[in-house]
Chains A and B, each alone.
Chain A
Amino acid sequence: DTGVSQNPRHKITKRGQNVTFRCDPISEHNRLYWYRQTLGQGPEFLTYFQNEAQLEKSRLLSDRFSAERPKGSFSTLEIQRTEQGDSAMYLCASSLERGHGYTFGSGTRLTVV
């Protein structure tokens, strides 16, 4: 395990459909984060897990979004009833301890048509 793995790399979906993304963090990292990035902007924080506990959710994460990390290892991010405004790069990152930088996965690029 050499890095953070995200699947799928690309997803095109029709408006109103549900989508689910998966993130596999670096195995010894207990902290996992989801970010969203749109063109010309930096990554925006969505949510954070320490082990299996979801400790913070951004107000950007509407009730159509849900994230889980059931066994404290991989995580999923689901978007229900997708909207065109959900089109973005969804980035997962993991870290070992407070004060350290993150390691990001390659991201899932979502296009809602």
Chain B
Amino acid sequence: RKEVEQDPGPFNVPEGATVAFNCTYSNSASQSFFWYRQDCRKEPKLLMSVYSSGNEDGRFTAQLNRASQYISLLIRDSKLSDSATYLCVVNTAPGGYNKLIFGAGTRLAVHP
């Protein structure tokens, strides 16, 4: 079983739609959580951290459920520019350092 699992998609949605991505992780000792965005043939870029209380950044809302080991990302009012792969990331931090484990990503395609 992979440490971080995501639905690979693709999710094909029209502009203005709301779309949600889910992710599960296997290591209950994971301590911090992130969503990264990766455009085709580019490096991953940090989209947002995910906090236990849930957090929002503009049109993006992230939720964490530690009991279920589940992370979600909600994108409202999708834009064409949101088309990308979204990577779910956990910090397993063995020994206390900053080791990020990436899911395989969920592909989003927003069409006009």
Contacts and interface: CB of A to CB of B under 8 A. Distances in A.
Given A33-B100, A98-B91, A106-B43, 19 more contacts: A31-B97, A33-B99, A35-B102, A40-B8, A42-B87, A42-B103, A43-B44, A45-B99, A45-B101, A50-B97, A56-B95, A91-B43, A95-B98, A101-B36, A101-B46, A102-B100, A104-B44, A104-B45, A105-B43
B93 interface: yes
B72 interface: no
Contacts of A106: 42-43
A97 to B, nearest CB: 7
B93 to A, nearest CB: 6
B12 interface: no
B34 interface: yes
B32 interface: yes
Interface residues of A, number: 26
- Top 3 nearest A-B pairs by Cβ distance? A42-B102, A104-B43, A101-B46
A40 B32 CA distance: 24
A107 interface: yes
Instruction: Give the interface size bracket for B toward A.
Output: 20 to 34
Interface in A28-59: 31, 33, 35, 40-45, 48, 50, 55-56
A85 interface: no
A35 to B, nearest CB: 8
A107 B42 CA distance: 8
Interface string B80-94: 000000010101010
Contacts of A97: 98
Interface string A101-113: 1111111000000
B49 interface: yes
A100 interface: yes
A94 to B, nearest CB: 10
B45, B95, B98, B104 — which one has the most chain A CB atoms within 10 A of its CB?
B98
